[in-house]
Amino acid sequence: MSIIERQTELGRSIVEINTSTLRELVTLQRENFEKYFSTNRSFGEKLPEVNDVSSFVSLQREYGETLWSNVRDAVETQNGIFSGAFKETRLAFEKAFSTTEEVVEEIVAKPAPKSKAKAKANSEASA
């Protein structure tokens, strides 16, 4: 494979990686907005049940913990998406800039790392 072919393949790979990463991030953000509105709706429905200050503080604490948990999960999922994209990009660059055909064949033979974010996002959406 010539250097021009490898560089062309690198360009295609980078575009594919960027497209899939952006698609995953947009899906994650959509799911996060849906969770946020669902959480607000459910706690808004509980608000009329509050009769005293202690129950209001308890409800507020529960709401804060739920929001924090959702944010933490979203950040972990986002980190997984970015980590997968960086690994795929590194492999694409190794393939494009390797000097021997053996290295290219080794890199091609390695399975591309799959992002755990999709599996996690799908399991969270079904929960």
pLDDT digits (tens, 9 = 90+) for 26-52: 999 999 999 999 999 999 999 888 899
* Structure confidence by residue, pLDDT tens digits, 11-31: 999 999 999 999 999 999 999
Mean pLDDT over 106-121 rounds to 55
What is the pLDDT confidence band of residue 96, given thresholds at 50, 70 and 90? confident
DSSP letters for 17-71: HHHHHHHHHHHHHHHHHHHHHHHHHHHHHHGGG--SHHHHHHHHHHHHHHHHHHH
* Burial grade of 121 (CB within 10 A; 0-12, 13-18, 19 or more): buried
What is the Cα–Cα distance from 104 to 100, expressed in whole angstroms? 7
What is the Cα–Cα distance from 115 to 77, expressed in whole angstroms? 9
What is the Cα–Cα distance from 12 to 92, expressed in whole angstroms? 10
Residue 7's pLDDT is: 87
pTM for the structure as a whole: 0.69
H or E segment and range at residue 126: helix 116-126
What is the Cα–Cα distance from 116 to 84, expressed in whole angstroms? 8
What is the pLDDT confidence band of residue 62, given thresholds at 50, 70 and 90? very high
Higher pLDDT, 78 or 102: 78
Q: Which of 105, 112, 110 is nearest to 20 (CA)?
A: 112
In the chain, beta strands by DSSP E: none
